[in-house]
Amino acid sequence: MSTIDELNDMRTKALTEIAAAGDGASLETVRVAYLGKKGELTAILRGLGSLSAQERPIVGKTSNEVRQELEAALDGRRRDLEHVELEAKVSADAVDVTLPGRGRVPGREHLIEMITRQVVEVFIGLGYRIVEGPQVELDYYNFTALNHPPAHPARAATDTFYVRDLEAGDARTTGESDVLLRTHTSPVQVRVMENEEPPIYVLAPGKVFRRDIADPSHLPQFTQVEGLVVDEGITFGDLKGTLDYFCKEMFGHDRKTRFRPHFFPFTEPSAEVDVSCGICGGDGCRFCKYTGWLEILGCGMVDPNVFGYVDIDTERFSGFAFGMGVERIAALKYNIPDLRMLVEGDMRFLRQF
Ligand code: PHE
């Protein structure tokens, strides 16, 4: 077979193989087989020197034509394959924009936060300022300066979480220490009066802790809002008017309030405030234990002994204080039968509010 015939056969074979190459790698194999260093066409081009003077220019010219033709065919096929690959990738990655999206439930304010905010808003409207105090508190602020005698039952380790001072090597596990988790927000009263001169109109929301077992009406950690007013000429009438207004704002204007005499070490006189039952309207039902009333807060006139601890002149100033449980108010407002539902984090329950 002449070299020209050989070249023509090779061209046909190579073009067929190029057209048949299904991906970039097999196309490269074809290229190497013909145009690579040891390729068939390369071998012919290398052998040009040994051909006769007549044959050499013809074979040389034809070889170059074949090389150019194969290179063009390779380029063309490479572009086709790239296109096919791109198409495949695009359709594999395709997003069906007509599919409906997955719904996401937006976050929301927890009921405890919501009630706290509502209480705060009522008193902000009356000109009160918001203040805060530490949750880990000193016995002095939680009890002593609030006029609790040394043997007051609330001080017992069975009622109060005491914090052990490990650095001081205090190994007591049951006995009292000077550091505790505050059992109410009333210590904030002392901290404010220690640092500020009257007139004082403040509200102190925050977490409190008591060694109670969780049950329908108790939680070991709950939320209180404390109020304190100290000014010239403050009377029990101001306290009653303020809390009556608060209850109507909070529970609705059809609700009545009543003040029952009570005792707190740090207020004198003291009272507990009840709001008329929203379920029976005051006639008596299971929710209000057939009394027609629901207890919502404790209050009273600041005891002169407390003013003594913070050096406020009792000749010139008087004041009142009150404290309420946020979880309890939430329960009364929405007829929630068990306070534990407020802290269990069950969205089916929480989403209702
Ligand atoms: N600190 C009291 C309690 O936790 C409530 C209270 C606050 C009573 C302020 C009187 C004045 O029960």
SS (H, E, C) 210-236: CCCCCECCECCEEEEEEEEEEECCCCH
Dump pLDDT digits (tens) for 182-209. Answer: 999 999 999 999 999 999 999 999 999 9
Average pLDDT estimate for 123-133 = 97
The larger pLDDT score, comparing residue 96 to residue 231, is at 231
How many angstroms separate the CA atoms of 188 and 72, rounded?
A: 88
Query: Which residues lie closer than 8 Å to 137 by C-beta, 6 or more apart?
Result: 179, 180, 181, 182, 187
The pLDDT of residue 171 is above 50: no
Percentage of the chain beyond pLDDT 90 is 50
Query: How many angstroms separate the first and last alpha carbons of the chain?
Result: 95
Indicate the burial class of 43 (C-beta count within 10 angstroms; 0-12, 13-18, 19 or more): exposed
CATH superfamily of 111-350: Bira Bifunctional Protein; Domain 2 (3.30.930.10)
Q: Structure tokens of 59?
A: 């074979």
The pLDDT of residue 161 is above 70: yes
The alpha carbon of 187 and the centre of ligand 1 are apart by a number of angstroms equal to: 10
How many angstroms separate the CA atoms of 26 and 272, rounded?
A: 91
Query: Which residues lie closer than 8 Å to 248 by C-beta, 6 or more apart?
Result: 255, 257
| 301 close to 319: Cβ distance less than 8 angstroms | yes
Q: Is 325 in the pocket of ligand 1 (CB under 6 A)?
A: no
Q: Which of 141, 207, 264 to mutate to test the pocket of ligand 1 (most atoms within 8 A of CB)?
A: 264
The alpha carbon of 7 and the centre of ligand 1 are apart by a number of angstroms equal to: 107
* Max Cα-Cα span within the chain: 134
Dump pLDDT digits (tens) for 42-91. Answer: 888 888 888 888 888 888 888 888 888 888 888 988 998 889 889 888 98
Protein residue with least CA distance to atom 5, ligand 1: 323
Q: What is the pLDDT of residue 176?
A: 61
Confidence band, pLDDT 50/70/90 cuts, at residue 40: confident
Q: Is 321 in the pocket of ligand 1 (CB under 6 A)?
A: yes
How many angstroms separate the CA atoms of 219 and 225, rounded?
A: 16
Residue 269, classed as helix, strand or coil, is strand
Q: Is 320 in the pocket of ligand 1 (CB under 6 A)?
A: no
Protein residue with least CA distance to atom 10, ligand 1: 299
SS (H, E, C) 273-320: EEEECCCCCCCCCCCCCCCCEEEEEEEEEECHHHHHHCCCCCCCCEEE
Can you spell out the DSSP letters for 138-173? EHHHHTGGGT--TT-GGGSTTTS-BPP-TTTT---S
The alpha carbon of 177 and the centre of ligand 1 are apart by a number of angstroms equal to: 22
Confidence band, pLDDT 50/70/90 cuts, at residue 165: low
Phi, psi torsion values for 328, nearest 5 degrees: -65, -40
Rama region for 162: left / alpha / beta (φ>0; ψ in -120 to 50; rest):
beta
Confidence band, pLDDT 50/70/90 cuts, at residue 269: very high
Q: Is 184 in the pocket of ligand 1 (CB under 6 A)?
A: yes
Query: Which residues lie closer than 8 Å to 29 by C-beta, 6 or more apart?
Result: 21
The alpha carbon of 298 and the centre of ligand 1 are apart by a number of angstroms equal to: 5
Which atom number of ligand 1 is nearest to the Cα of residue 299? 10
The domain segmentation of the chain, as residue ranges, is 3-93, 111-350
The pLDDT of residue 175 is above 60: no
Residue 268, classed as helix, strand or coil, is strand
How many angstroms separate the CA atoms of 336 and 342, rounded?
A: 9
How many angstroms separate the CA atoms of 305 and 326, rounded?
A: 28
How many angstroms separate the CA atoms of 34 and 14, rounded?
A: 7
The alpha carbon of 279 and the centre of ligand 1 are apart by a number of angstroms equal to: 26
How many angstroms separate the CA atoms of 251 and 261, rounded?
A: 22
Q: What is the pLDDT of residue 127?
A: 97
Dump pLDDT digits (tens) for 232-246. Answer: 999 999 999 999 999
Confidence band, pLDDT 50/70/90 cuts, at residue 340: very high
User: What does pTM read for this prediction?
Assistant: 0.71
The pLDDT of residue 174 is above 60: no
Confidence band, pLDDT 50/70/90 cuts, at residue 121: very high
The pLDDT of residue 285 is above 90: no
Confidence band, pLDDT 50/70/90 cuts, at residue 170: low
The pLDDT of residue 284 is above 50: yes
Q: What is the pLDDT of residue 277?
A: 85
